[in-house]
Amino acid sequence: MKLTTLLTTAALTFAATGAWAESEINVMHATAFETAPTAMAGGGFLHIHNTGDSDDVLVDVRADYPRVEIHTTEFTDGVAKMMHVAGIPVPAGEMVVLEPGGYHVMFMGLQGTPFTLGDMIPATLVFEQAGEIDIMFKVIARDAAHGGMDHDSMDHDAMDHDDANHSDMNH
């Protein structure tokens, strides 16, 4: 079951983290690009804003796929190396951006369940301090006309067309 109502998500989130969480995590622009029908993997991207006064770390992402990991890509002399990372630090007061060419949520084992334009992919972010936060990745088009390299326009796209923003979570 891939679709969960935002209402349910918010309720679960509230219940899951409660009042003891000290960091305040806001998640925005959770998006994933549509994939080919036979794609084996997909990438998820988001902005994480820690508005609290204690540091936090994103330590895991869970979703209904055979394997989901936090990855980063490093470049050395033009060679891209994608790798699994144990966590992404989200210092107090800072915004961390998972965007193409860097940190991403790697959804693996998609075979037969591609990311289709408009889909909402439920996932749970696990933070060291804030605990579990349920979010939805909205599947957006990879618009070649805008180019692949322009991070700014990509962010605007995500912002302008992204209904998933309504699910911004505040703890």
Partner 1 sequence: MKAVIIGTTTLAIAAGLGFYTWNTSRSAVPCGDTAVAGAAIGGPFELVSETGATVTDTDVITKPTLVYFGYTFCPDVCPLDSARNAAAAYLLADQGHDIGTIFISIDPERDTAQIVGDYTDNFHEDMIGLTGTAAQVDAASKAYRTYYRKQEGDPEYYLVDHSTQTYLMFPETGFATFFKREHTPEQIAQTTACFIDRIG
Q: Which two tokens stand for residue 22?
A: 């000290």
- Scanning 4-12, 54-62, 63-71, 163-171 for contacts with partner 1 by CB under 8 A, the matching segment is 63-71
Q: Which does 37 bind (CB under 5 to 8 A by kind): partner 1, Cu ion, none?
A: partner 1
Nearest one of 91, 110, 2, 8 to 49, comparing CA atoms: 91
Q: How far is CA 69 from CA 62, 86, 87, 109, in A?
A: 8, 9, 10, 12
Q: Which two tokens stand for residue 127?
A: 């933070």
- The reply on whether position 106 binds Cu ion by CB under 5 A is yes
CB of 20 to partner 1, least distance (A): 35
The site string for partner 1 over 130-149 (x = CB under 8 A, - otherwise) reads ------------xxxxxxxx
- Scanning 21-29, 49-57, 80-88, 159-167 for contacts with partner 1 by CB under 8 A, the matching segment is 80-88
Half-sphere exposure of 120 (CA within 13 A, CB side): 18
**Residue among 53 and 74 whose Cβ is closer to partner 1:** 74
CB of 163 to partner 1, least distance (A): 22
- The reply on whether position 43 binds partner 1 by CB under 8 A is yes
Residue 67, sorted as left (phi over 0), alpha (psi -120 to 50) or beta, turns out to be beta
CB of 146 to Cu ion, least distance (A): 22
Q: What is the DSSP letter of 9?
A: H
How many Å apart are CA 29 and CA 34, to the nearest integer? 15
Residues near partner 1 (CB under 8 A) are: 33-43, 66-67, 71, 73, 75, 77-83, 100-101, 104, 106-109, 142-150
